[in-house]
Amino acid sequence: MIGFLFSAQRPPDPRRINDAVVQRFEHIYEVDPALMRDHVRQHDFPAWDTRRIVESRWEHLGWMHAHWADSVISGDELISGDELMEDEP
């Protein structure tokens, strides 16, 4: 069992990015919880658990790339490729 005091691990206050997105940690974006309250019961997450979940997702993405991807491209490369395709007749 993991024990902790939530008051000692309270995430920082959210910083609004746009009407639907907030950011509590650098490079971690989340849907504004206020928009989801009618559909999903909201829970308080300690700061360490948010970081654990994000790190686990990066680890999974790395594994998927290592096992399934012939190459990995950035979002910028993907966007520029789409623009090139739009220019073609």
Q: What predicted TM-score, i.e. pTM, was given to this entire model?
A: 0.64
At 15-56, the pLDDT tens digits run 999 999 999 999 999 999 999 988 889 888 888 899 999 999
> CB-hemisphere CA count at 13 Å for 8?
3
Residue 84 has pLDDT above 90, yes or no: no
Q: How confident is the model at residue 64 (pLDDT cuts 50, 70, 90)?
A: very high
The three-state (H, E, C) secondary structure of the chain, written as one string:
CCCCCHHHCCCCCCEECCCCEEEEECCEEEECHHHHCCCCCCCCCCHHHHHHHHHHHHHHHHHHHHHHCCCCCCHHHHHHHHHHHHHCC
Mean pLDDT of the chain: 85
- The structural domains of the chain, with segments of one domain joined by +, span 9-87
Amino acid 45: pLDDT = 83
